[in-house]
Amino acid sequence: MDRLTFIQLSRNKWKHFLFFLALLLIFITVPLALHSLQRAHQQVESDITYYARGTYDLLVRPMETEHPLEEKLGMVPENYIGFGNGGISINTWETIKSREDIEIAAPVASLGYFTGVNSTLAISPPQANYMRYITEFATTDGVNRYPIEPEYMCALLKYETDQFTYESIINNDDLRNDCVEIPAFPLPATYHLVVGIDPTEEEKLTNTSFSSIASDSTLTGSGSLYTADYPNAKLLPIVEVIDKEASLSTSLSIGTLDLSPDDIVQFRDQLGLKDPDEAEDPTLPTHFYQKKQTKQYKQLVKTLRTLDTADSEDYTLDLSSVVNAFDQNEHGIYLTEDGDLDTIENHPELFQQGYFINQSMSASSAYYQASQTPYELSDGRLSVPILDVKDGVPIYREIKKQGNTMKEVFDNDSLSPEDIAFIPDPVDTVEMGEKEAQLAASPLGIYQFEPARYIGKEKNESIELEPTMTPGSFVTPSAKGLTNMEAAVTVKGDEPIDAIRVKVAGIDQYTEEAATKIEKIADELRHMDLNVTIVAGASPQNVEVDVEGIGLVEESWTTLGAAGTIVGEWSISNLVLAILFVLVGGTYIFNRFIFWRITKEKDTLLLSQLGWTNHHIQALWNKEVFYVLSGSAILAIPLLMVLSRLGGLDSTLYVYQLITVLIAGTFVWFFIRKAIPKLTNPFLSKNNPKKSKRNKRRSLVNRNIHYYWRYIVSAFTQLAIVSTLATFVYLAINETVSQTNTTVLGEYINVQVNHWHLILVVSAYILAFITLIEALMSLFKIRKKEIKQFLLIGWRKKDIFQLYMKEIFLWTGCALLMGNLISILLFMIFYSLNWTVFLVATLSFLGLYLFIVLLAMAIVWRYISKPFASAA
């Protein structure tokens, strides 16, 4: 029997070789495909486990304090806890912090925008007798420069007396103590967000010490100097966060006025000033500043402002590197004769010339509270309008002033020193470092934000935006000042906390068990009438916003529940793809043996007529198939070993191969066992005469397809399934990537797992083409006599070729079309239908169809040429 088996194998060597090749491919690609899908799923879960847990797990807020877009979009701006009116008491926070299953409970209490100690910009001494200084401070959002009102003008006119060398003409009362004898200008008040924290819990969360603002700290700053004058004022100890520099600059023009002593005398006469050395009545005005409220003085200011200069020097100075948030510059900013920025302390000789380091906290006792950015959602697009303009700078948030400035108390008779409630006291600085790129997002809401970027109309620009130095900036400002919870209570009352950032104890990675534990604690905290949001598994997402006055901006928002979405989407896709690919391999084997049963009908019937029992016939065919199957399975092992080493695959690959071989062997044995009784009964293969009559009414192409359908059906089914898989794989992966790629975590995971799915498509294509080649070769081998008969009765080779190609055009086209329709239906079940689906399905159909037609043309031409040659 073994000899007879080998004769059978050698007699149909090409047919058995293709069968061997197809089985070899199945025993390699099915394990690879299943292993790749398993690896893809494991990769997703591994990345989620490793990366999806951020700095903390739960965000606890007062009830009804969600961001307006949180429920609509499932995501929130990065700093959505940086603004608030409080609502959580110190006692509630202490209760949460004391739980054994909570590792960190770090509170956040947004106090508002404060300024600190203001300083001045001093200019090098006058180089001529008559000098004019014009300065205009400005801030920027990174795209636009916003001049800060007012513009300052100071003219120093030489007019020597016993006390003064220069007379000062100024356009603003702010200059009355600065631009006197020497050119100096007060820096504008710059406002920065101050947030209350608990130093101990914040240190656990950030690994940074905040002991300088602890309740037992004895450190004091410049604010303590004012407490004696303001008995009701509470000191707010502030540690300044040193990260990005302040966006403050100035345009300075220094010009020499073409004036003479006579011009100065004329100016004095116009204002009715007396010579200080000759004035008999001490009450008579002798200096320009004594006439500053008169029309004549204001007209003189206008005259000097517009007067041409003999020569001038213009400077654009970036003050960002020399200006701090809450103590602008304790060393005194100084512009040297060379145009360099320095400090007065580095030039001690300046003190003898009348220079001094001016520091003022006159504006620091008032602060501003700002709302969240009022995003507007329309037709799926976000926009932000300008709400107001303050000192020349656009305001994008609603702001509310709190408290009184020292200047207001001094100027307003209805106010008294008792009306000063708070004085910020900068006691220390701290560096938080640069923001690290993270796949998970835990929005701290106070510092280290991902920068917003201006991208322009064409989305081809990238300019990093900055917060302006006034309250109400569009760009989310990080907290520049941190104070303690005692100060927060002083400012906001008994319920000052806007949010508590909670990290659950006993969790190392974001696993299913960890997620369950986090959810359990969240539910328990919700019973305390708190709004609890799970931020573990959240991830950053870039969002486009149309900002009035700036343009199209890209911001980083936080997508809540991103990890769960990613796992869910890939789990569905991988499961469907695994089923489809196993179906491709299983269908091939099934169709191949349907075809095998057809080709073995005559041989099986002959052996039965020669007296062979069904048992012996089954043993013969089992051996024949066993040799092919075992040979392909054995050869697949070293090939899988090579692929395993190249791709870094693990031993589960061989488990999948063993399972595939066992299932294939069991199916073959069962199929042959059931097929033999039917093959030995000749009456089961008779044709239906009614079908023959209907065939007479069909075209020759249709009759041929119907007649040879038994030989075509395996390739037809295989092509339909491969067409389904090819289209669906592309659509499913693209849709999954599209739905998960919106977040940074999703982008990372998609890059990691995408290459595994290429194995599916490539393997399916190869198996389909082997099936097609095998089917066409078998079909036209059977039709050799038919081809010769066509040639003998005068058909041209061209006519025969056209007939057969029409047949192939029809049934392959139907198979591919059916596969594409099934893929669209599958897509509709799992995803949302769109026009892209039909476009991809059409392109997939055309691409596969073109390749199949070219392959068929080569095979058909080969079989037509051989009989034609022999006939000749």
pLDDT in tens, 693-745: 454 556 788 888 888 787 787 778 878 877 887 777 777 777 766 655 555 44
Q: Which residues contact 233 (CB under 8 A, 6 or more apart)?
A: 226, 227, 365, 420, 421, 422, 423
pLDDT digit string, tens, across residues 551-566:
999 987 776 554 555 5
pLDDT value at residue 647: 57
Does the pLDDT value for residue 98 go beyond 60? yes
- For helices 652-679 and 614-647, angle between their N-to-C axes, nearest 10 degrees: 160
pLDDT value at residue 869: 45
Report, as an integer, the average pLDDT of 166-182: 90
225-229, 277-281, 433-437, 615-619 — most confident range: 225-229
pLDDT value at residue 42: 57
Helix (H, G, I), strand (E, B) or coil at 14: helix
Does the pLDDT value for residue 589 go beyond 90? no
Which amino acid is located at 711 in the chain?
Y
Does the pLDDT value for residue 858 go beyond 70? yes
Distance CA 549, CA 473 (A): 12
Higher-pLDDT residue of 632 and 183 is 183
Does the pLDDT value for residue 757 go beyond 70? no
371 exposed, middle or buried (CB, 10 Å; 0-12, 13-18, 19+)? middle
CB 309 within 8 A of CB 258: yes
Indicate the average pLDDT of the chain: 80
pLDDT value at residue 94: 95
pLDDT value at residue 687: 44
Does the pLDDT value for residue 439 go beyond 50? no
Does the pLDDT value for residue 761 go beyond 70? no
pLDDT value at residue 635: 85
pLDDT digit string, tens, across residues 64-78:
777 777 777 777 776
pLDDT digit string, tens, across residues 230-274:
888 889 999 998 877 778 999 999 999 999 999 999 999 999 888
pLDDT value at residue 566: 56
Higher-pLDDT residue of 7 and 248 is 248
pLDDT digit string, tens, across residues 622-640:
777 777 778 888 888 887 7
Residues in the chain: 872
pLDDT value at residue 860: 84
pLDDT value at residue 297: 93
Lowest-confidence segment of 326-335, 445-454, 502-511 by average pLDDT = 445-454
pLDDT value at residue 358: 86
pLDDT value at residue 561: 52
Long-range own/partner contacts, residues 595-600 (CB < 8 A, 24 or more apart): 595/710, 595/711, 595/714, 595/775, 595/778, 596/625, 597/671, 597/675, 597/678, 597/679, 598/710, 598/711, 599/15, 599/778, 600/675, 600/679
- DSSP annotation of 527: T
Higher-pLDDT residue of 589 and 209 is 209
Does the pLDDT value for residue 692 go beyond 50? no
Which amino acid is located at 637 in the chain?
I
Does the pLDDT value for residue 768 go beyond 70? no
pLDDT digit string, tens, across residues 21-59:
777 777 777 777 677 666 655 555 554 444 445 677 888
Distance CA 656, CA 653 (A): 5
pLDDT value at residue 81: 62
Distance CA 200, CA 209 (A): 8
pLDDT value at residue 197: 92
pLDDT digit string, tens, across residues 363-416:
888 899 888 888 898 888 899 999 999 888 999 989 899 888 888 888 888 888
Give the C-alpha distances (Å, rounded to integers) separating 238 from 190, 197, 250, 267, 424.
15, 11, 27, 49, 7
Lowest-confidence segment of 172-186, 327-341, 442-456 by average pLDDT = 442-456
Does the pLDDT value for residue 460 go beyond 80? yes
Distance CA 731, CA 737 (A): 10
Does the pLDDT value for residue 15 go beyond 80? no
pLDDT value at residue 691: 47
